[in-house]
A and B are shown apart, each in its own frame.
Chain A
Amino acid sequence: AQSVSQHNHHVILSEAASLELGCNYSYGGTVNLFWYVQYPGQHLQLLLKYFSGDPLVKGIKGFEAEFIKSKFSFNLRKPSVQWSDTAEYFCAVTYYGGSQGNLIFGKGTKLSVKP
């Protein structure tokens, strides 16, 4: 079955530290890739997406992600985190030819940023 793996369950960083959250998806052909974020008490919202083209994509709030096809990875990065980045981050994928484009999510990584 198609799946998404997020390597870290909970990451704790101090402000200004660099962030990298790992995401791997199972092989299944052509994919669209997403990172969603859920701030405390809020709904899931799109952080960034990759459909095609430049494998380095930039999202909101200084986040970026790199699609490495050979590694089936789509890691999320930010050079310097802020306390306001405290949230849960979900990697997600849709597979071309998959079920009507529904998202397959990873289990999420909770990020806690200490002020």
Chain B
Amino acid sequence: GAGVSQSPRYKVAKRGQDVALRCDPISGHVSLFWYQQALGQGPEFLTYFQNEAQLDKSGLPSDRFFAERPEGSVSTLKIQRTQQEDSAVYLCASSSRTGWATGELFFGEGSRLTVL
């Protein structure tokens, strides 16, 4: 596609529900990142994929967060038993590069999660 596509754009969940957020990166992009952006803050790194391999998940805040990219393209971020502190915008970004040159990222519009 022309850009990074994320769905849903908005999600309201009751505390304790599971949610799944989808990211469709730019076709052919090897690197895929997930970021969490709380209100009034900058994006914070969650996890990184190179093709289907999850090379870094050090930013995932708890074991309730899980991400996958089984075929090296579309990725899903899953949050189990959502809590109010999970309310944030979840950003997906992709890059054709790998390694430390991947900083030139293409971002999606984000999925805004509100947990009641």
Residues of A within 8 A of B (CB): 4, 32, 34, 36, 42-46, 49, 51, 90, 92-108
Contact = CB atoms under 8 A, between A and B. Distances in A.
Contacts of B101: 32, 51, 101
Nearest to A38: B107
Contacts of A94: 100, 102-103
A64 B43 CA distance: 22
Contacts of B42: 4, 90, 92, 105-108
Given A43-B110, A44-B91, A101 B43 contact: no
A55 B35 CA distance: 28
Contact of A44 (B56, B59, B102, B107): B107
B88 to A, nearest CB: 14
Given A32-B100, A90-B42, A105-B42, A100 B48 contact: yes
B100 A101 contact: yes
Nearest to A6: B42
B58 A99 contact: yes
